[in-house]
Amino acid sequence: MSLGPSPGLVRLATRSSPLAMHQSQIVARALETAHPGLRTELVEVSTTGDRRSEEPLSVLGGQGIFVKEVQQAVLDGRADVAVHSAKDLPSTSPEGLEIACVPGREDPADALVGRSLAGLGPGATIATGSPRRRALLASLRPDLNFVELRGNMARRIEAAGLDGVDAVVVAVAALSRLGALSQVAERLEPEIFTPQVGQGALAVEACVGGEPAALLEAIDDPSSHRCLEAERAFLVGIGAGCLVPAGAWCTEEAGVLTLRSFMARSEEVIQRSELQGIDPGLLGHGAAHALGGAHPSH
């Protein structure tokens, strides 16, 4: 591992989980293809979320626990860029960093592993650590029971069918990147089962105005980037950093953005919004306003 920057070398900070490493390799290969002669190197970073993998996300504080140390590696000069699952990011970047690149997004949907929704018997048990997923599943099947689920993707998949767990909920994109789509029992349509902000997308941060940020422009997908901006603006609007049962999914067609969002006010009350516009920030804040702004737990 290099101790400092070298000409023609881009160092990518990443979590050390198999999925994170694979995602970072996707970015590394894209950079090398876009810039012939450029070399890349992965810098593995241990995050709070990885070190405390047995504790529920609600105890650890939710967003940021998988990214802060990765971001710090760039701020400290140990790496040039930070590669994240966009859904792990808080709604704002640390001072000095920017999301310089969002490669083409994969399927943003969630999926059930183990059994389909119709295949789950009365009172079945679902494993998930996500308040969003719990709220949406409970709205579709109020009889379901829920237990916490942490760990890497392999561990999550293996949980289905063990210790009384009938099914688990995971991101389709994660299964796709790991070549495990055969594990999907049912894809949950994002029009109904609203994804987490940024789900299916990668976000690559770099220092504002630096050469790495300029290099990343070549592999940025403008539509995916704009959609992520809209979703993250929604997150800001409802109050950043909280474990809120809410989600947003943006698509773009002919330059027009469509943002579908939801927020669970209680176990019985789910509010939904669908707005269109061309400005990502205004659209995201508009969706948050349509749902009443900050969640009452803030």
Q: Is residue 97 part of a domain?
A: yes
pLDDT, tens digit, 9 for 90 and up, residues 179-196? 999 999 999 999 999 999
pLDDT under 70: residue ranges of the chain = 1-7, 48-63, 65, 240-243, 294-298
Q: Is residue 151 part of a domain?
A: yes
CATH classification of the domain holding 30: 3.40.190.10
Residues 184 and 274 in one domain: no
SS3 content of the chain, % helix, strand, coil (to 5): 35, 25, 40
Question: What domain range includes position 181?
Answer: 110-188
Residues 117 and 51 in one domain: no
Give residue 240's pLDDT: 53
297: which DSSP letter? T
Q: Is residue 196 part of a domain?
A: no
Catalytic center residues: 87-88, 132-133, 150, 156, 242
Give residue 171's pLDDT: 95
pLDDT, tens digit, 9 for 90 and up, residues 199-211? 999 999 999 999 9
Closest to 12 measured CA to CA, from 79, 95, 63: 79
Cα–Cα distance, 184 to 277 (Å, whole number)? 33
Give residue 2's pLDDT: 40
Give residue 60's pLDDT: 44
Give residue 268's pLDDT: 73
- pTM score, two decimals? 0.90
Give residue 53's pLDDT: 47
Please state whether beta strands 125-127 and 167-171 pair in parallel, antiparallel, or not at all (unpaired). Answer: parallel
Residues 72 and 9 in one domain: yes
Give residue 59's pLDDT: 44
Closest to 113 measured CA to CA, from 158, 180, 178, 167: 167
- b (16+ CB within 10 A) / e for 66-99: bbebbbbbbbeebbbbbbbbbbbbbbebbeebbb
Helices and strands of the chain, counted as H and E runs: 10, 13
Residues 146 and 16 in one domain: no
Long-range contacts of 285-289 (CB under 8 A, 24+ apart): 285/233, 285/234, 285/236, 285/237, 287/230, 287/234, 287/237, 287/248, 287/259, 287/261, 288/233, 288/234, 288/236, 288/237, 288/238, 288/261, 289/237
Chain centroid, CA 291 distance in Å = 21
Please state whether beta strands 270-277 and 256-264 pair in parallel, antiparallel, or not at all (unpaired). Answer: antiparallel
Task: Look up tokens 């061309």; give the residue.
Answer: 278
One-letter amino acid of 206: A
Residues 41 and 67 in one domain: yes
Give residue 288's pLDDT: 95
Residues 35 and 99 in one domain: yes
Give residue 161's pLDDT: 83
Residues 93 and 212 in one domain: yes
- Per the structure, the count of domains in the chain is 3
192: which DSSP letter? T
